[in-house]
Amino acid sequence: MKKRGHGIALFSGGLDSALAILLLLRQDIEVTALSFMNHFGCDLSDRSSCGHDPYPVADKFGFTVKMVHLADKFVQIVKDPKYGHGKNMNPCIDCRILMLREAKQFMEIVGADFVFTGEVVGQRPMSQRKPQLNIVARDADLKGKLLRPLSAKLLPPTEVELSGLVDRDRLEAISGRSRKRQIELAEKYGLEDYPNPAAGCLLTDQSYSNRLRDFLAHNEHLSFDDLNLMRVGRHFRLDRETVVIVGRNEEENNKIERYRNKTDWLFEAIGTGSPVTLLKGPLNDSTIKATAEITARYCRKRDDGQIEISYYQTEDQLQTIMVAPAVETELVKVRL
């Protein structure tokens, strides 16, 4: 059966974006939902994600989901956001503009009528205040075509409301951080098992942001392996050119080995439970000693005074050094 119109949703899998979709499905609008991923945790394969699996709710209520990876475009806005970073390295306003631009392009390709989101006026400090909502719509070149069904009655009518394609009276006037009205609507529509509001992607995490900021201050090029390494282990900056990364468990040790460059050096203790430690930077007497001491610090047995640490790029060129574990007061100075 032909629907009244076709809307493209930004869909995180969370409560607000799901409700925005349900409001429009109930107005007989066809919905295609775009779920975005990036390299900073909004990745459904990762438990630290701020995104949620979008498929169960799509199956239940009958709309289509398409996954879109923002890849390098997202990395660019993290490095140099037009509207700056939030409290940490999160460029939320630029991020929303980017997602909306992608949605606009998709809307034009499939011949849909408008784009909509689950944004709620005043819910998030950086990206969901009224002036920011206007900036986002303007910069995404979606003025008049961007509907926020949960707060629509608090905002100027969009083209699709003015034309009667969407009935404004059946949209909502929600604002602020309380989720009371959303929970009422979820019960009314039979939306169950919705996740708690997420804090955001990894870029809202202080310690991850510290590592990223440090990396960008010391390197021009940022590869995906670099980004993946930032997610694992303990990180220490020894000098302008040298970073040491220590695995905290077997999973992290494996990731460190997987994401390292050929020019990086691996350090491990011999004969005791040892982390895998990565030295990224020049190998010299000072970096060998410091990296070996850090490795020794995180070994299972480290009460013997001196510990033998091996280091290598390939196993046939393995060398060793005896060191005492680094002391905490020294580590604090170099920890990222």
Q: How far apart are CA 139 and CA 264, in angstroms?
A: 42
Least separation in angstroms between residue 85's CB and ligand SF4 is 9
Least separation in angstroms between residue 122's CB and ligand SF4 is 16
Least separation in angstroms between residue 334's CB and ligand SF4 is 28
Query: How many of the other CB atoms lie within 10 Å of CB of 223?
Result: 12
Q: Which is nearer to ligand SF4, 92 or 266 (CB)?
A: 92
Least separation in angstroms between residue 25's CB and ligand SF4 is 24
Residue with tokens 């990396």: 215
Is the separation of the CB atoms in 89 and 206 below 8 Å?
A: no
Q: How far apart are CA 31 and CA 34, in angstroms?
A: 10
Collect all residues with Cβ–Cβ distance below 8 Å to 216 and sequence separation of at least 6.
79, 222
Q: Which is nearer to ligand SF4, 3 or 73 (CB)?
A: 73
* CA separation, residue 116 to residues 11, 17, 23, 249, 285 (Å): 9, 9, 11, 42, 58
Q: Which is nearer to ligand SF4, 91 or 247 (CB)?
A: 91
Least separation in angstroms between residue 155's CB and ligand SF4 is 19
Q: Which is nearer to ligand SF4, 5 or 91 (CB)?
A: 91
Q: How far apart are CA 312 and CA 310, in angstroms?
A: 7
* CA separation, residue 251 to residues 69, 123, 204, 258, 278 (Å): 25, 37, 24, 11, 14
Q: How far apart are CA 93 and CA 237, in angstroms?
A: 31
Collect all residues with Cβ–Cβ distance below 8 Å to 307 and sequence separation of at least 6.
269, 272, 296, 299, 301, 322, 323, 324, 325
Q: How far apart are CA 133 and CA 45, in angstroms?
A: 30
Least separation in angstroms between residue 42's CB and ligand SF4 is 5
Q: Which is nearer to ligand SF4, 230 or 323 (CB)?
A: 230
Q: Which is nearer to ligand SF4, 71 or 318 (CB)?
A: 71
Q: Which is nearer to ligand SF4, 90 or 132 (CB)?
A: 90
Residue 255: strand, helix, or coil = helix
Least separation in angstroms between residue 12's CB and ligand SF4 is 8
Q: Which is nearer to ligand SF4, 39 or 234 (CB)?
A: 39
Q: Which is nearer to ligand SF4, 201 or 294 (CB)?
A: 201
Least separation in angstroms between residue 201's CB and ligand SF4 is 3
- Could you list the residues that contact ligand SF4 (CB under 6 A)? 42, 50, 90-92, 95-96, 200-201, 203-204
Largest pairwise CA distance in the chain: 79
Least separation in angstroms between residue 69's CB and ligand SF4 is 13
Residue with tokens 């459904």: 44
